[in-house]
Amino acid sequence: MEQKSMDPQDDVPLVFVHRPPSFHFPFKDRLSTHFNLLDPLDSPDSTHFFLGSSVGVDHLDLSDCRRRGIAITNASFAFSEDVADLAVGLLIDVLRGISAADRFVRSGFWAKTGDYPLGFKLGGKRIGIVGLGNIGSQVAKRLEAFGCIISYTSRRKKPPSVPFAYYANIYDLAMNSDVLMVCCALTEETHHIVNKEVMAALGKEGVIINVGRGALIDEKEMVQFLVRGEIGGVGLDVFENEPDVPKELFQLDNAVLSPHSAVVTPECFDALEELILFNLKAFFSHEPLRSLIEFE
């Protein structure tokens, strides 16, 4: 967001809305009582202010924003609990085979073939969190209650108040984990951060959960590792070429596939509305913003 002088005919700040056409923007009416909204999807003519919403920042030119002094806030404050809920749900699903067992029951196999194969306990599992930000921290909080053992990798080691073991790189984290929870932002540095060396280090019973962005994982390699039985399972909310999903995954019971829906709850939209309204008011009143992206 960048502050400029207001149109002299109008005291209400102008806000330029940038959104994907699929984002329905349910709280537009409420925002329009506080701001003059310019939404190019309504009328394609204006360039004043910028209002988008996302957890990820991979669609923004961060260095250009830094050079121009543009502040960026993201939606992780509003979204992180919902994303963490789904991440934990995907993990339980992969370990206990919930979706696969549901297919087994629906297709009538329970009565025909007897018991469904064993699942795995959460307690005692070594969970490696890739990116201990808002989302990763919420994931850690939940999984501690299941008796999991948490460690993490992150750009920097967190302060001593964070009680989890730190690994300086994802390879060492994978070597010491049963599960990788991929919760970080997609940047040039994190593109394909889960590569074949990391998957080999995780091992054939290892599980990968991805609620970040598809391109954090080398998806082609991941499919091969799964097909060859060289990793134990995956729970994926994101894919490299959404909405296309590699067809090989459709045949696998140890893959749980979610259509990028980690943040799609009404409670999340309410929290997002509050956050956007708060930040716009704060911006135009020269007050501190919430969920400000820190440039490296």
Contact positions vs a second copy (CB under 8 A): 22, 81-82, 85-86, 88-90, 92-93, 95-99, 101-106, 110-111, 114-116, 118-124, 141-142, 144-147, 242-245, 250, 256-259, 261, 264-268
Which residues have C-beta within 8 Å of that of residue 216, sequence separation ≥ 6? 130, 182, 184, 186, 190, 191, 192, 193, 194, 210, 238
106 is catalytic: no
68 is catalytic: no
Smaller CB distance to a second copy: residue 28 or 155? 28
242 is catalytic: yes
Catalytic residue among 197, 242, 267, 287: 242
Nearest distance in Å: CB 139, a second copy: 10
Smaller CB distance to a second copy: residue 83 or 170? 83
Catalytic residue among 34, 48, 260, 290: 260
Smaller CB distance to a second copy: residue 9 or 113? 113
Cα–Cα distances in Å, from 132 out to 51, 127, 162, 175?
26, 12, 10, 18
DSSP 113-169: H-PPPP---STT-EEEEE--SHHHHHHHHHHHTTT-EEEEE-SSPPPTTS-SEE-SS
Nearest distance in Å: CB 183, a second copy: 16
CA distance 89 to 85: 6
Smaller CB distance to a second copy: residue 143 or 194? 143
On whether the CB atoms of residues 35 and 280 are closer than 8 A, the answer is yes
Residues that are catalytic: 213, 242, 260
